């Protein structure tokens, strides 16, 4: 029990650090109920930001230990607190934070929707956590790539050259970014043991935290009657919950990407200042988890930049956020270049028209395999049809058209990037598709989730004549 408590202490510190980052950027007010409601987003923010910083420190030769982790987490708290030093505190709520609970008989219907949602998610989270307590880490990549790197990082305070520059371990994709193994290694270090089974408990927290985070982000922009059932659908989608139990990095990466895309989409809609840093943090960790995440992040930044320019939004703020994301992914890329570590994807050849023409026969099967995964209702239920419906209605009606164009552009460009990756891959196409395509589609499918959540809220608001952001529900 001791090691378990210590490893969950890492999650608590990540949430605490993330909470003060959110307070510092003004997204969470210094109010008891708001800080409690934001804990999911706080955990995801800390779980994104702290590993990205630790990866950068590793590439600079700084030993990464639990002490280093505590220092980085403390720095997040101090910087966030300093930025929020002038934020007002709601004295009335501080003195009576649960005043709304005494008036439960007069709660409106939507508050009851939130109550039922919280109860169902809570029950599902507990049942899922109990389930992963008994689940072995059976996925090949989970222990041959991610846990192997996390174990090396747990046993050494730096990027151990005997592993990371050793071609004998090339099967572990030595060029893959390290945010996910660093996150795993923090829990291993705290527990004092590399427990292949225990790591799934913390991976499960990422799913629960991301659903909680989406609810918080949507609370004033989408009615609970819309987001609650959609989030419950996402929580139980086999393509998400099933893959998560394998311990791969794909679904955690997609969850961060979903949060980043939603935050950026909401900023594009209203240019609310606090959303842009959140989008940058989530996209930065997405790019630092897998090469697919890097491709998806660059696609989102390109599409977002195009919308910002066409719609004449705040170019300077967007450029600053995009620059921060690029800056966050550079340390690992520079370290790889310095040490001559290359991946198995011939990116430079992939820009050569002759090379592409010679392999044009790979495009059709790649498209068919990816689209076949999109259309699989047993894995992804109805996320794609729902996203198609809300995007088409938004584009035709003009309601949230630029937001719909953003989500559609992100989906299409990510899809094109993944087709291109199979096109240029040196591996046998049939084998490559069979071993990866079911996981690769996680990011575009969660972009669909982001579109459904955001656009459904905009469409319903217009249908009901609601003029703007809703009054905050006392529960969230």
pLDDT digits (tens, 9 = 90+) for 336-369: 999 988 888 888 888 899 999 999 999 999 999 9
Report whether pLDDT(109) > 50: yes
Residue 84: pLDDT band with limits 50, 70, 90? confident
Bigger pLDDT: 158 vs 321: 321
Residue 451, helix vs strand vs coil:
helix
Alpha helices in 271-345 (DSSP H): 275-287, 291-310, 315-338
Phi, psi of 249 (to 5 degrees): -85, -10
C-beta neighbour count of 162 within 10 angstroms: 10
Please compute the mean of the pLDDT values over residues 83-89 and round it to a whole number. Answer: 68
Q: What pTM was estimated for this model as a whole?
A: 0.93
| 3-state SS class at 30 | strand
CB atoms within 10 A of CB 156: 16
Is the pLDDT assigned to residue 107 strictly greater than 90? no
179 Cα distance to chain centroid: 12
- Helix axis angle, 429-440 relative to 401-424, nearest 10°? 150
**How distant, in Å, are the alpha carbons of 33, 67, 69, 133, 172 from that of 189?**
33, 11, 11, 19, 21
Q: What is the mean pLDDT of the chain?
A: 88
| pLDDT of 92 higher than 60 | no
Give the per-residue pLDDT at 91.
43
Least confident of 217-221, 314-318, 430-434, 445-449: 217-221
Per-residue pLDDT, 172: 86
Contacts 24+ apart (CB under 8 A), 340-343: 340/165, 341/164, 341/165, 341/174, 341/175, 342/175, 343/173, 343/175, 343/176, 343/291
Q: Copy the structure tokens of residue 402.
A: 């630029």
**What pLDDT was estimated at residue 162?**
87
CA distance 252 to 244: 8
State residue 357's pLDDT score.
Answer: 94
- Dump pLDDT digits (tens) for 252-282: 999 999 999 999 999 999 878 889 999 999 9
> HEC profile for 55-99?
HHHHHCCCCCCHHHHHHHHHHHHHHHHHHCCCCCECHHHHHCCCH
User: Who wins on pLDDT, 45 or 347?
Assistant: 45
The pLDDT value given to residue 101: 58
Cβ atoms 52, 107 nearer than 8 A: no
Q: Which residues, at least 6 apart from 327, have a Cβ–Cβ distance to it below 8 Å?
A: none
pLDDT by residue (tens digit) across 61-82? 999 999 999 999 999 999 999 9
Which 3-state string (H, E, C) describes 137-160? CCCHHHHHHHHHHHHHHHHCCCCC
Confidence of residue 39 (pLDDT cuts 50, 70, 90): very high
Q: Which of 103 and 328 is assigned the larger pLDDT? A: 328
3 vs 262: which has the higher pLDDT: 262
Distance spanning both ends of the chain, measured CA to CA: 32
217: Cα separation from own chain's centroid: 13
pLDDT for the residue 471: 43
376 has a pLDDT exceeding 50 = yes
Instruction: Give the number of other CB atoms < 10 A from CB of residue 215.
Output: 24
User: Sign of the CA dihedral 210, 216, 221, 223?
Assistant: positive
Q: What pLDDT, in 10s, does the model give residues 9-28? A: 999 999 999 999 999 999 99
Whole-angstrom Cα distance, residue 459 to residue 473? 20
What's the pLDDT tens digit per position in 398-449?
988 999 999 999 999 999 999 999 999 999 999 999 989 999 999 999 999 9
**Residue that wins the pLDDT comparison between 463 and 263:** 263
Paired strand residues for 141: none
Burial class of residue 82 in the structure, from the number of CB atoms within 10 Å of its CB (0-12 exposed, 13-18 middle, 19+ buried): exposed
pLDDT-derived band at 139 (thresholds 50, 70, 90) equals: confident
Determine the Cα angle at 212 with ends 211 and 217, to 5°.
95
Least confident range from 52-56, 177-181, 225-229: namely: 225-229
Q: Are 81 and 20 contacting, i.e. CB atoms less than 8 angstroms apart?
A: yes
DSSP string computed for 392-444? HHHHHH-TTHHHHHHHHHHHHHHHHHHHHHHHH-SS-HHHHHHHHHHHHTHHH
Residue 340 Rama label (left phi>0; alpha psi -120 to 50; beta): left
C-beta of residue 254 within 8 angstroms of C-beta of residue 445: yes
Position 475 pLDDT exceeds 60:
no
Question: Angle of helix 442-464 relative to helix 250-270, nearest 10 degrees?
Answer: 30
The pLDDT of 143-156, averaged and rounded, is 89
pLDDT at 88: 55
Average pLDDT on 304-326 reads 95
């Amino acid at each position: 029990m001791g090691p378990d408590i210590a490893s969950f202490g890492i999650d608590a510190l990540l949430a605490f650090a993330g909470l003060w980052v959110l307070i510092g950027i003004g997204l969470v007010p210094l109010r008891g109920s708001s800080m409690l409601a934001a804990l999911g987003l706080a955990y995801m923010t800390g779980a994104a930001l702290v590993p990205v910083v630790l990866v950068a420190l590793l590439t600079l030769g700084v030993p990464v230990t639990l002490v280093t982790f505590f220092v980085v987490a403390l720095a997040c708290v101090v910087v966030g607190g300093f930025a929020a030093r002038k934020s007002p505190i709601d004295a009335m709520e501080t003195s009576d934070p649960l005043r709304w609970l005494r008036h439960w008989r007069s709660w409106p219907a939507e508050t009851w929707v939130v109550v039922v949602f919280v109860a169902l998610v809570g029950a599902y989270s507990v049942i899922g956590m109990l389930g992963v307590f008994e689940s072995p880490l059976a996925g090949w990549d989970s222990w041959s790539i991610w846990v192997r790197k996390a174990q090396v990082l747990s046993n050494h305070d730096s990027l151990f050259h005997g592993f990371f520059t050793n071609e004998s371990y090339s099967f572990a994709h030595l060029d893959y970014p390290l945010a996910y193994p660093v996150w795993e290694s923090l829990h291993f270090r705290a527990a004092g043991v590399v427990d292949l089974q225990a790591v799934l408990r913390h991976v499960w927290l990422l799913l629960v935290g991301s659903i909680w985070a989406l609810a918080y982000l949507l609370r004033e922009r989408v009615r609970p009657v819309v987001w609650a059932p959609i989030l419950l659908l996402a929580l139980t989608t086999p393509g998400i919950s099933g893959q998560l139990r394998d311990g791969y990095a794909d679904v955690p990466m997609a969850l961060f990407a979903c949060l980043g895309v939603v935050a950026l989409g909401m900023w594009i809609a209203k240019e609310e200042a606090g959303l842009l840093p959140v989008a940058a943090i989530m996209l930065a960790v997405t790019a630092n988890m897998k090469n697919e995440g890097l491709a998806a992040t660059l696609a989102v930044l390109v599409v977002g930049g195009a919308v910002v320019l066409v719609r004449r939004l705040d170019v300077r703020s967007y450029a600053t956020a995009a620059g921060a994301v690029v800056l966050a992914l550079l340390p690992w890329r520079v370290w790889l270049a310095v040490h001559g570590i290359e991946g198995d994807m011939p990116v430079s050849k992939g820009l050569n028209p002759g090379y592409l023409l010679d392999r044009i026969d790979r495009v059709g099967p790649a498209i068919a395999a990816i689209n076949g995964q999109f259309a699989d209702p047993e894995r992804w239920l109805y996320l794609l049809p729902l996203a198609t419906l809300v995007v088409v209605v938004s584009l035709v009606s003009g309601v949230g058209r630029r937001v719909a164009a953003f989500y559609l552009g992100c989906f299409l460009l990510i899809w094109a990037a993944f087709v291109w990756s199979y096109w240029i891959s040196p591996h046998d196409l049939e084998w490559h598709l069979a071993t990866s395509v079911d996981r690769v589609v996680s990011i575009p499918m969660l972009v669909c989730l982001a579109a459904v959540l955001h656009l459904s809220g905009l469409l319903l608001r217009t249908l009901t004549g609601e003029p703007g952001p809703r009054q905050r529900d006392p529960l969230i």
